[in-house]
């Protein structure tokens, strides 16, 4: 029997703690040998400055709310076409979900391919900023 005399290892104190207790102290050699996922650095995290946050808007939202946007001053009327600058509303990309029935001139930094097709099919214009 290991541990010498049997009465030396009867108590709970012989375990050295429960769970991961002592993982960075008296059970460190066990951690290194059998459980390498619980210490050290692993993985990769991209720097937050390199990621770009998209804030998209769909063409159906612009089509439905274009009259409201004109009254609020976020869009202007020019030769029977409504000119909408989505950056004034805090958006930076136009997506093509839904239908567009009015001829709108939409200004945005980015457009999806489906949004470009729908805007031009309705007689509007997509201006990339």
Quickly list DSSP for 33-86: HH-GGGSS--S----GGG-----EEEHHHHHHHHHHHHHHTSEEEETTEEEEEG
Tell me, yes or no, whether 55 lies in a domain: no
Question: Is residue 105 included in any domain, yes or no?
Answer: yes
Domain range enclosing 84: 76-128
Q: What is the pLDDT of residue 102?
A: 83
Q: Is the pTM of this model over 0.75?
A: no
Examine residue 22 and state whether it is found in any structural domain, yes or no. Answer: no
**Of 118, 65, 120, nearest in space to 91 by CA:** 65
Answer whether 105's CB lies under 8 Å from 127's CB: yes
Q: What is the CATH number of the domain that holds 120?
A: 3.100.10.10
Rounded-to-integer distance, Cα 71 and Cα 93, Å: 23
Whole-number percent of the chain with pLDDT over 70: 98
> What pLDDT score was predicted for residue 88?
86
Does residue 108 belong to any structural domain of this protein? yes
Residue 89 lies in a domain: yes
| Structural domain total, the chain | 1
Q: Is 32 inside a domain boundary?
A: no
Is residue 117 assigned to a domain?
yes
Mean pLDDT in residue range 101-129? 88
Please indicate, yes or no, if residue 58 is contained in any of the structural domains.
Answer: no
pLDDT 10s digits, 32-90: 888 877 777 778 888 888 888 888 999 888 888 888 888 888 888 888 888 888 888 88
């Amino acid at each position: 029997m290991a541990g010498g005399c049997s009465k030396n290892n009867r108590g709970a104190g012989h375990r050295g703690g429960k769970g991961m207790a002592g993982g960075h102290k008296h059970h460190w050699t066990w951690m290194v040998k059998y459980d390498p996922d619980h210490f050290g650095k692993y993985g990769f995290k991209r720097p937050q400055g390199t990621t770009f946050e998209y804030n998209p808007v769909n063409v159906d939202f612009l089509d439905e709310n274009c009259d409201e946007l004109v009254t609020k001053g976020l869009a202007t009327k020019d030769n029977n076409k409504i000119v909408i600058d989505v950056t004034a509303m805090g958006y930076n990309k136009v997506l093509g979900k839904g239908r567009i029935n009015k001829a709108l001139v939409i200004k945005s930094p980015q457009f999806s391919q489906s949004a470009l097709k729908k805007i031009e099919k309705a007689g509007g214009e997509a201006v990339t900023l």
